[in-house]
Amino acid sequence: MKRYYITTPIYYVNDAPHVGHAYTTLACDVLARFMRLDGHRVHFLTGTDEHGQKVEKAAAAAGIAPKAFTDMVSQNFRTLAKALNISNDDFIRTTEPRHILASQAIWRAIAASKSPKGRDNIYLGKYAGWYAVRDEAFYGENELTTGDDGRKRAPSGAEVEWVEEPSYFFRLADWQDWLLAFYAENPRFIAPDTRRNEVVSFVRQGLEDLSISRTTFKWGVPVPDAPGHIMYVWLDALTNYITAVGYPDTKSDLFTACWPADLHMVGKDILRFHAVYWPAFLKAAGVEPQRRVFAHGWWTVEGQKMSKSLGNAIEPHHLIEKYGLDPVRYFLLREVPFGQDGDFSHRAMVHRLNGDLANDLGNLAQRVLSFIQKNAGGVVPKAGVLAPGDEKLIAAARNVLPTLRTELAEQAFHKALDALWQVVGDANRYVDEQAPWALRKTDQVRMNTVLYVLAEALRRLALQIQPFMPDAMTRLLDQLAVPADARDYAAFDRTLVAGTTLPPPLGIFPRYVEEGAAAPTRAAKK
Ligand code: MSP
């Protein structure tokens, strides 16, 4: 069976989880679920990034020792994963013993290796330069801007401070040609293309050696055999992806089955770490680089940057409570072409919920299933001879699966959903054209055929929408009496069996009614 290993970034625990975090994890969840249904053995990893100065400072501000602090706040991300119905197979924390072991092992492996120019990959020096705690990143003078307050800032807007300390360096400069050749040989390594071009031009400009140990604070993984040095938090953090599959035991079943990871999903702000540093670290350590990194865009809220200071960071729990989990999952992946930035607005959310979900899919299912319940004895109707229009709808619902495979291999969630909703549209037009309510009086055989075709189209749609909205589609498949062992794509062609009793239909997507409104608003009716 083919393996599929997918990872989210590990989240800094200093921050309360917001919709940006939920987004990355959700995108991975949809891919993990789709790949499982499509016959892969999936390993889906998420977790928390718990070392470094930023977390140490947050713990100090809370007046709690770092370990106790991270034990407490890491839990928020587990809770979030549960609330979002995330199907991760593992949850890694960088403070776990397995990870300290793996981080020290990768350090040793890199330290024992030579750069492409034949020099030691790690050497001791002194770092004197700018550091942004918020980004946990070093910046060159030329990358900084000066704000209105006269203070220097990183390109991300984070404040920087001058740091001077003894430090080990990774000989990144020697890796420039290797990286450029690697990108050229692996055109799918960085996506989308615009991001790929940015990384390539960044590397073409030349790379500087990278400081990979810190000595002015304590909260991190100790550098092996170098008292006083702790590993740079990004080297520690990136290593989580191999820790979780058993590194340094590269001969283990899990490691050989999973590595190289198929996809590291990240936000655009952390692409450089994943697409430049990480493949170089891995190659230096004698481990093959991951297969692909996808950098998605950022969400703003009602047109504004989401931030703690503006107090507008959207809490995923709040969204779920207000709109329901599956509508939120759907909205985030449908509204914005994946890879681009997007804006979260209440209006857009309600528009999708009442339009695409309650109206287009929910009504379709409700109309068909209640009609069957009332007029076809509450069982899967028996089809007569299929007319070309019937075949066409069934074929549309069947033939969208190859499109899903292609689009999801490119992480084009919006296109996958668009293709599915084309079929939802076809099915709605088919109901209107065939008018089973009229056939009830004139031709019951034909009425049953039409209902069968619709139920079969719904079955195929529900199977394919499952990765996006697992709860709602479970309910729909239950209502179609699809057996539990016939819900993956191996069973895609196991058609509904005429005569099977169907449970009473229940609505799957309640319409969102504005607070205080007596009836659905006009916008909600679409
Ligand atoms: N700890 C590092 C990642 C280490 S991975 C080896 C980190 N953590 S983070 O918590 O700050 O961010 C995690 C993810 O959340 C990133 O992919 C980031 O892009 C994403 N988002 C944070 N805010 C976001 C938005 N407003 N919108 C979309 N995604 C955003 O970076």
Q: Tell me what pLDDT residue 519 has.
A: 53
Residue 432 has pLDDT above 80, yes or no: yes
Share of the chain above pLDDT 90, in %: 91
Between 516 and 195, name the one with better pLDDT.
195
The encoded tokens of residue 38 equal 């499509």
Residue 522 has pLDDT above 80, yes or no: no
Yes or no: say if 147 and 115 are a contact pair by the CB < 8 Å rule: no
Does residue 266 have its Cβ closer than 6 Å to ligand 1? yes
Give residues with Cβ within 8 angstroms of 293, minimum separation 6.
189, 190, 191, 263, 264, 265, 266, 271, 274, 275
Q: Tell me what pLDDT residue 25 has.
A: 98
Task: Kindly list the domain boundaries of the chain, sorted by start residue.
Answer: 3-297, 345-491
Does residue 299 have its Cβ closer than 6 Å to ligand 1? yes
| Cis peptide, bond prior to residue 97, ω within 30 of zero | no
SS3 306: coil
> Mean of the per-residue pLDDT values for the chain?
95
To test the pocket of ligand 1, the residue of 8, 25, 277, 298 to mutate (highest count of ligand atoms within 8 Å of its CB) is: 298
Tell me the CA–centroid distance for residue 263 and ligand 1, in Å: 16
Taking residues 443-472, what's their average pLDDT?
98
Convert the pLDDT of each residue in 121-165 to its tens digit. 999 999 999 999 999 999 988 899 998 888 899 998 899 999 999
Give residues with Cβ within 8 angstroms of 516, minimum separation 6.
none
Residue 524 has pLDDT above 80, yes or no: no
Residue 520 has pLDDT above 80, yes or no: no
Q: Tell me what pLDDT residue 255 has.
A: 98
Yes or no: say if 266 and 274 are a contact pair by the CB < 8 Å rule: yes
To test the pocket of ligand 1, the residue of 8, 13, 23, 333 to mutate (highest count of ligand atoms within 8 Å of its CB) is: 23
In what side-by-side order are the strands of the sheet with 342-344?
Answer: 304-305, 299-301, 342-344
23-37, 451-465, 505-519: range with lowest mean pLDDT: 505-519
Convert the pLDDT of each residue in 274-330 to its tens digit. 999 999 999 999 999 999 999 999 999 888 888 766 778 888 999 999 999 999 999
Q: Which atom of ligand 1 is nearest to the CA of 9?
A: 5
Does residue 24 have its Cβ closer than 6 Å to ligand 1? yes
Convert the pLDDT of each residue in 247-275 to its tens digit. 999 999 999 999 999 999 999 999 999 99
Residue 523 has pLDDT above 50, yes or no: no
Q: Tell me what pLDDT residue 312 has.
A: 82
Tell me the CA–centroid distance for residue 9 and ligand 1, in Å: 7
Q: Which fold has domain 3-297?
A: Rossmann fold (3.40.50)
CB atoms within 10 A of CB 225: 10
Taking residues 499-511, what's their average pLDDT?
95
Q: Tell me what pLDDT residue 518 has.
A: 60
Residue 525 has pLDDT above 70, yes or no: no
Does residue 9 have its Cβ closer than 6 Å to ligand 1? yes
Does residue 21 have its Cβ closer than 6 Å to ligand 1? yes
- Is 3.40.50.2300 the CATH number for 345-491? no
Tell me the CA–centroid distance for residue 324 and ligand 1, in Å: 24
151-165, 233-247, 380-394: range with lowest mean pLDDT: 151-165
CA-nearest residue, atom 22 of ligand 1: 20
Yes or no: say if 47 and 240 are a contact pair by the CB < 8 Å rule: yes
| Residue corresponding to tokens 């509508």 | 327
Q: Tell me what pLDDT residue 321 has.
A: 95
